[in-house]
A = this chain, B = another copy of it.
Amino acid sequence: MATSTCFLCPSTASLKGRARFRIRIRCSSSVSVNIRREPEPVTTLVKAFAPATVANLGPGFDFLGCAVDGLGDIVSVKVDPQVHPGEICISDISGHAPNKLSKNPLWNCAGIAAIEVMKMLSIRSVGLSLSLEKGLPLGSGLGSSAASAAAAAVAVNELFGKKLSVEELVLASLKSEEKVSGYHADNVAPSIMGGFVLIGSYSPLELMPLKFPAEKELYFVLVTPEFEAPTKKMRAALPTEIGMPHHVWNCSQAGALVASVLQGDVVGLGKALSSDKIVEPRRAPLIPGMEAVKRAAIQAGAFGCTISGAGPTAVAVIDDEQTGHLIAKHMIDAFLHVGNLKASANVKQLDRLGARRIPN
């Protein structure tokens, strides 16, 4: 087992992480824990799953995301006497494109988040090894990096007795996102918390969980083409200035989207999701076939369709699974015939739990 890529000397840990630790979280009454005594591991091995996420959600660009059940990454962490105390190493990466990911924990999403959690917990007596099962393809617009970070943060926290709050785990995972794809919590927050989460502000971090009613059905049709849509390029396509009419329109649709989520109105949610006049019109033309895919989804009965995250995955919403599969078929066909891209589909429900420990 390689232990050469390990890191973290707690004595050099920046205080910045701790300072940012005293966050004001509106979604919870819990007060941040200031860890003074190093906790001991409560077990030797923890396995955690973190779900895929759909961020942006049309007019929810950059502040709203939700978690998707049954798709995600798995991280296992174990106490490893071969690893220098207070350090971590990545022992294994499997699943999607394992060779594209660094085993240096400082350059790996799961590694960075795990390091942050260890910092927050002041771990200096125990070394850990981490293995990552990539259930999500990279750069697909499904929050792949966020899921790795969320699973790692939760796994390390569970190993040491769950001392950190959900909000602190979001902050730890944000460190990872910051390095990999920008300081955005609209993937990591729903991946950790489950459901829909609105990012109210970053300074201080304010997370608003938006409860979709338990009795309502909501299916996401996620169609991922074989196409690379780098976040940087998709972000460069955005306008820097927005005309007032479009601004007011998107704001109203953001409000309608939030209201639809809280009221369990899937038709309204789909309509609002589809209504973005600012981001989607700039990004869709960069993904071959996307506009046709959206039309196909809606013609096949979807309540709405947009780009998931920065793409290339297209996400449509519907309230029953069978129609979801039919919509998926039409979307795959459109990617193939108009965009000349092969695509694969998943029809999944909302994940209401967020990142969690799973049996070893």
Contact = CB atoms under 8 A, between A and B. Distances in A.
Contacts of A256: 198, 200, 208, 258
A14 interface: no
Interface of A: 26, 59-64, 198-201, 208, 210, 238-244, 247-248, 250-259, 262-263, 267-268, 272, 278
List the number of copies, as a whole number: 2
A277 to B, nearest CB: 11
A323 to B, nearest CB: 21
Nearest to A253: B200
Given A26-B268, A259-B210, A262-B259, A244 B251 contact: no
A278 B60 contact: no
Contacts of A64: 252, 255
A145 to B, nearest CB: 20
Contacts of A60: 251, 255
Contacts of A278: 247
A59 B255 CA distance: 10
Nearest to A64: B255
A255 B26 contact: no
A59 B251 contact: yes
Contacts of A254: 251-252, 254-255
A259 B268 CA distance: 15
Question: Which of A239, A255, A268 has the largest count of B CB atoms less than 10 A from its CB?
Answer: A255
11 contacts: A26-B267, A198-B255, A198-B256, A239-B244, A240-B244, A247-B247, A252-B254, A255-B255, A258-B258, A259-B262, A262-B262
A48 to B, nearest CB: 28
B247 A242 contact: yes
Contacts of A240: 243-244
B239 A242 contact: no
A259 B63 contact: no
A247 B248 contact: no
A238 B247 contact: no
Contacts of A259: 198, 208, 210, 258, 262
Given A62-B252, A239-B244, 8 more contacts: A198-B252, A200-B272, A208-B256, A247-B247, A247-B250, A252-B254, A254-B254, A255-B257
A278 B243 CA distance: 12
Contacts of A263: 262
A278 B251 CA distance: 12
Contacts of A247: 242, 247, 250, 278
